[in-house]
Protein backbone atom coordinates (compact mmCIF):
# COMPACT_ATOMS: atom_id res chain seq x y z
CA UNK A 1 0.00 0.00 0.00
CA UNK A 2 2.99 2.31 0.29
CA UNK A 3 3.69 4.89 -2.40
CA UNK A 4 6.45 4.32 -4.93
CA UNK A 5 9.20 6.82 -5.66
CA UNK A 6 7.46 7.96 -8.85
CA UNK A 7 4.29 8.82 -6.92
CA UNK A 8 6.38 10.71 -4.40
CA UNK A 9 8.13 12.65 -7.14
CA UNK A 10 4.83 13.80 -8.64
CA UNK A 11 2.90 14.12 -5.36
CA UNK A 12 2.14 17.82 -5.85
CA UNK A 13 0.72 17.21 -9.30
CA UNK A 14 -1.37 14.30 -8.01
CA UNK A 15 -2.76 16.46 -5.21
CA UNK A 16 -3.55 19.21 -7.71
CA UNK A 17 -5.39 16.85 -10.05
CA UNK A 18 -7.46 15.37 -7.22
CA UNK A 19 -8.47 18.81 -5.96
CA UNK A 20 -9.26 20.00 -9.50
CA UNK A 21 -11.50 16.98 -10.04
CA UNK A 22 -13.16 17.70 -6.70
CA UNK A 23 -14.00 21.26 -7.75
CA UNK A 24 -15.31 20.26 -11.18
CA UNK A 25 -17.04 16.96 -10.22
CA UNK A 26 -17.25 15.90 -13.90
CA UNK A 27 -19.39 12.85 -13.10
CA UNK A 28 -22.26 15.13 -12.06
CA UNK A 29 -22.95 15.95 -15.72
CA UNK A 30 -24.36 12.44 -16.12
CA UNK A 31 -25.30 11.38 -12.60
CA UNK A 32 -26.80 14.69 -11.36
CA UNK A 33 -25.82 13.96 -7.78
CA UNK A 34 -25.29 17.55 -6.69
CA UNK A 35 -27.79 20.37 -6.72
CA UNK A 36 -27.31 23.49 -8.85
CA UNK A 37 -27.18 27.17 -8.01
CA UNK A 38 -24.70 29.64 -6.47
CA UNK A 39 -24.81 27.93 -3.06
CA UNK A 40 -24.67 24.31 -4.23
CA UNK A 41 -21.26 23.84 -2.61
CA UNK A 42 -20.65 22.12 0.72
CA UNK A 43 -20.62 25.47 2.55
CA UNK A 44 -24.10 26.37 1.34
CA UNK A 45 -25.43 22.82 1.66
CA UNK A 46 -24.34 22.46 5.28
CA UNK A 47 -25.58 25.96 6.15
CA UNK A 48 -29.01 25.20 4.66
CA UNK A 49 -29.17 21.92 6.55
CA UNK A 50 -28.30 23.60 9.86
CA UNK A 51 -30.89 26.32 9.25
CA UNK A 52 -33.63 23.76 8.62
CA UNK A 53 -33.08 21.94 11.91
CA UNK A 54 -35.53 22.65 14.69
CA UNK A 55 -34.15 24.95 17.42
CA UNK A 56 -34.08 22.11 19.93
CA UNK A 57 -32.07 19.99 17.50
CA UNK A 58 -29.41 22.62 16.92
CA UNK A 59 -31.16 24.65 14.22
CA UNK A 60 -29.95 28.24 13.73
CA UNK A 61 -30.64 31.06 11.30
CA UNK A 62 -29.20 30.85 7.80
CA UNK A 63 -26.76 33.74 8.35
CA UNK A 64 -25.49 32.21 11.58
CA UNK A 65 -25.17 28.85 9.83
CA UNK A 66 -23.07 30.35 7.03
CA UNK A 67 -20.87 32.09 9.60
CA UNK A 68 -20.42 28.90 11.61
CA UNK A 69 -19.28 26.90 8.58
CA UNK A 70 -17.05 29.78 7.52
CA UNK A 71 -15.42 29.81 10.95
CA UNK A 72 -14.66 26.09 10.58
CA UNK A 73 -13.14 26.75 7.17
CA UNK A 74 -11.00 29.59 8.52
CA UNK A 75 -9.78 27.46 11.41
CA UNK A 76 -8.83 24.62 9.05
CA UNK A 77 -7.12 26.94 6.55
CA UNK A 78 -5.17 28.92 9.15
CA UNK A 79 -4.36 25.79 11.15
CA UNK A 80 -3.06 24.07 8.00
CA UNK A 81 -0.84 27.02 7.10
CA UNK A 82 0.52 27.39 10.62
CA UNK A 83 1.19 23.68 11.11
CA UNK A 84 2.88 23.25 7.75
CA UNK A 85 5.02 26.37 8.26
CA UNK A 86 6.06 25.16 11.70
CA UNK A 87 7.05 21.77 10.34
CA UNK A 88 8.75 23.20 7.26
CA UNK A 89 10.80 25.60 9.40
CA UNK A 90 12.47 22.68 11.19
CA UNK A 91 12.63 20.21 8.34
CA UNK A 92 13.76 22.72 5.73
CA UNK A 93 11.67 24.06 2.86
CA UNK A 94 14.05 22.63 0.26
CA UNK A 95 13.63 19.16 1.73
CA UNK A 96 9.85 19.59 1.94
CA UNK A 97 9.76 20.26 -1.80
CA UNK A 98 12.34 17.59 -2.73
CA UNK A 99 11.55 15.13 -5.52
CA UNK A 100 13.10 12.11 -3.83
CA UNK A 101 13.00 10.46 -0.42
CA UNK A 102 15.60 12.02 1.86
CA UNK A 103 16.83 11.59 5.42
CA UNK A 104 20.16 11.60 7.22
CA UNK A 105 19.18 11.75 10.89
CA UNK A 106 16.06 12.04 13.01
CA UNK A 107 14.63 15.55 13.40
CA UNK A 108 13.02 15.85 16.83
CA UNK A 109 12.29 19.58 17.04
CA UNK A 110 9.26 21.82 16.75
CA UNK A 111 6.10 19.85 15.87
CA UNK A 112 8.11 16.68 15.27
CA UNK A 113 8.34 16.20 19.02
CA UNK A 114 4.56 15.73 19.13
CA UNK A 115 3.63 14.21 15.77
CA UNK A 116 5.65 12.45 13.07
CA UNK A 117 3.82 13.93 10.09
CA UNK A 118 2.72 17.53 10.76
CA UNK A 119 2.94 18.41 7.07
CA UNK A 120 0.55 15.66 6.04
CA UNK A 121 -1.78 16.61 8.88
CA UNK A 122 -1.66 20.22 7.71
CA UNK A 123 -2.45 19.14 4.16
CA UNK A 124 -5.54 17.25 5.32
CA UNK A 125 -6.76 20.31 7.24
CA UNK A 126 -6.22 22.33 4.09
CA UNK A 127 -8.25 19.87 2.02
CA UNK A 128 -11.10 20.08 4.55
CA UNK A 129 -11.13 23.86 4.10
CA UNK A 130 -11.14 23.58 0.30
CA UNK A 131 -13.87 20.94 0.45
CA UNK A 132 -16.29 23.59 1.73
CA UNK A 133 -16.01 25.31 -1.66
CA UNK A 134 -16.63 22.13 -3.70
CA UNK A 135 -19.88 20.43 -4.67
CA UNK A 136 -20.69 17.73 -2.08
CA UNK A 137 -19.75 14.75 -4.29
CA UNK A 138 -16.49 16.44 -5.28
CA UNK A 139 -15.68 17.17 -1.65
CA UNK A 140 -16.21 13.54 -0.65
CA UNK A 141 -14.05 12.38 -3.56
CA UNK A 142 -11.21 14.79 -2.70
CA UNK A 143 -11.16 13.99 1.02
CA UNK A 144 -11.19 10.23 0.45
CA UNK A 145 -8.72 10.26 -2.47
CA UNK A 146 -6.20 12.59 -0.83
CA UNK A 147 -6.55 10.81 2.52
CA UNK A 148 -5.76 7.50 0.82
CA UNK A 149 -2.84 9.02 -1.09
CA UNK A 150 -1.47 10.63 2.07
CA UNK A 151 -1.46 7.26 3.83
CA UNK A 152 0.45 5.74 0.89
CA UNK A 153 3.02 8.54 1.03
CA UNK A 154 3.47 8.18 4.78
CA UNK A 155 3.99 4.43 4.53
CA UNK A 156 6.47 4.90 1.68
CA UNK A 157 8.47 7.48 3.62
CA UNK A 158 8.46 5.45 6.82
CA UNK A 159 9.70 2.36 4.97
CA UNK A 160 12.52 4.44 3.45
CA UNK A 161 13.52 6.03 6.75
CA UNK A 162 13.38 2.74 8.62
CA UNK A 163 15.86 1.27 6.17
CA UNK A 164 17.96 4.42 6.05
CA UNK A 165 18.16 5.26 9.75
CA UNK A 166 17.40 1.98 11.46
CA UNK A 167 16.94 1.79 15.23
CA UNK A 168 17.04 5.55 16.03
CA UNK A 169 14.10 6.17 13.72
CA UNK A 170 12.20 3.10 14.94
CA UNK A 171 12.64 4.31 18.53
CA UNK A 172 11.37 7.73 17.49
CA UNK A 173 8.31 6.16 15.84
CA UNK A 174 7.59 4.14 18.97
CA UNK A 175 7.29 7.31 21.04
CA UNK A 176 5.81 9.92 18.68
CA UNK A 177 2.30 9.48 17.17
CA UNK A 178 1.97 9.25 13.40
CA UNK A 179 -0.87 11.76 12.79
CA UNK A 180 -2.74 12.57 16.02
CA UNK A 181 -0.53 15.08 17.87
CA UNK A 182 0.38 14.41 21.49
CA UNK A 183 -0.50 17.14 23.97
CA UNK A 184 3.05 17.14 25.31
CA UNK A 185 6.38 16.55 23.56
CA UNK A 186 7.24 12.86 23.45
CA UNK A 187 10.98 13.17 22.81
CA UNK A 188 13.75 15.59 23.84
CA UNK A 189 14.40 18.44 21.45
CA UNK A 190 17.20 18.06 18.92
CA UNK A 191 19.51 20.94 18.05
CA UNK A 192 17.74 21.84 14.81
CA UNK A 193 17.40 25.54 14.09
CA UNK A 194 14.16 26.81 12.57
CA UNK A 195 14.41 28.58 9.20
CA UNK A 196 11.24 30.66 9.35
CA UNK A 197 11.93 32.80 6.28
CA UNK A 198 12.18 29.96 3.78
CA UNK A 199 9.37 28.12 5.57
CA UNK A 200 7.00 31.04 5.06
CA UNK A 201 8.09 31.35 1.44
CA UNK A 202 7.59 27.64 0.87
CA UNK A 203 4.11 27.69 2.39
CA UNK A 204 2.95 30.93 0.78
CA UNK A 205 0.16 29.07 -1.01
CA UNK A 206 -1.26 27.83 2.27
CA UNK A 207 -1.17 31.32 3.77
CA UNK A 208 -2.74 32.76 0.64
CA UNK A 209 -5.68 30.38 0.95
CA UNK A 210 -6.06 31.22 4.64
CA UNK A 211 -6.04 34.95 3.82
CA UNK A 212 -8.67 34.37 1.12
CA UNK A 213 -10.99 32.69 3.62
CA UNK A 214 -10.48 35.46 6.18
CA UNK A 215 -10.61 38.45 3.82
CA UNK A 216 -13.56 37.66 1.55
CA UNK A 217 -15.43 34.97 3.45
CA UNK A 218 -17.75 37.57 4.97
CA UNK A 219 -19.26 38.08 1.50
CA UNK A 220 -20.56 34.48 1.53
CA UNK A 221 -19.26 33.96 -1.99
CA UNK A 222 -17.38 30.70 -2.47
CA UNK A 223 -16.33 31.77 -5.97
CA UNK A 224 -14.39 34.75 -4.58
CA UNK A 225 -12.54 32.49 -2.15
CA UNK A 226 -11.82 30.05 -4.98
CA UNK A 227 -10.32 32.91 -6.98
CA UNK A 228 -8.07 33.61 -3.99
CA UNK A 229 -7.02 29.95 -4.01
CA UNK A 230 -6.07 30.18 -7.70
CA UNK A 231 -4.11 33.41 -7.17
CA UNK A 232 -2.31 31.85 -4.20
CA UNK A 233 -1.33 28.87 -6.34
CA UNK A 234 0.11 31.16 -9.00
CA UNK A 235 2.10 33.16 -6.46
CA UNK A 236 3.42 29.96 -4.88
CA UNK A 237 4.74 28.72 -8.23
CA UNK A 238 6.77 31.91 -8.55
CA UNK A 239 7.95 31.69 -4.93
CA UNK A 240 8.93 28.06 -5.44
CA UNK A 241 11.63 29.17 -7.86
CA UNK A 242 13.17 31.30 -5.09
CA UNK A 243 13.57 28.41 -2.65
CA UNK A 244 17.08 26.99 -2.17
CA UNK A 245 17.69 23.75 -4.01
CA UNK A 246 17.67 20.55 -1.99
CA UNK A 247 21.24 19.22 -1.60
CA UNK A 248 22.03 15.76 -2.86
CA UNK A 249 23.06 14.67 0.62
CA UNK A 250 21.15 16.76 3.17
CA UNK A 251 22.98 17.26 6.44
CA UNK A 252 21.17 16.56 9.68
CA UNK A 253 17.67 16.10 8.26
CA UNK A 254 15.24 13.26 8.52
CA UNK A 255 11.76 12.57 9.92
CA UNK A 256 10.79 13.00 6.23
CA UNK A 257 7.14 14.18 6.20
CA UNK A 258 8.08 16.00 3.02
CA UNK A 259 4.72 16.55 1.39
Other Cβ atoms less than 10 A from the Cβ of 33: the count is: 13
Give DSSP secondary structure letters for 123-141.
HHHHHHHHHTTS-HHHHHH
User: In 3-state terms, what secondary structure has residue 108?
Assistant: coil
* Spatial distance between the Cα atoms of 130 and 124, rounded to a whole number of angstroms: 10
What digits encode the pLDDT tens for the residues 71-122? 999 999 999 999 999 999 999 888 888 888 877 778 899 999 999 999 999 9
* Spatial distance between the Cα atoms of 120 and 136, rounded to a whole number of angstroms: 23
Residues of the chain with pLDDT under 70: 56-59, 245-259
The pLDDT value given to residue 58: 65
What digits encode the pLDDT tens for the residues 230-240? 999 999 999 88
Q: For the whole model, what pTM was predicted?
A: 0.92
Amino acid sequence: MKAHSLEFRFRFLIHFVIILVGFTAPWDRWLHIDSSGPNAHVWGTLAAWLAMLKPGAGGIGIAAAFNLILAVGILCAVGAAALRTWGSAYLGASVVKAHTFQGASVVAAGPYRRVRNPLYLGTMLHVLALALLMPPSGAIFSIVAIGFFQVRLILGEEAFLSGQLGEPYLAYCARVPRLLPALRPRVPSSHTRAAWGTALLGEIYMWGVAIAFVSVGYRYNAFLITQGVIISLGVSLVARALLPKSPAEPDGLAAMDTE
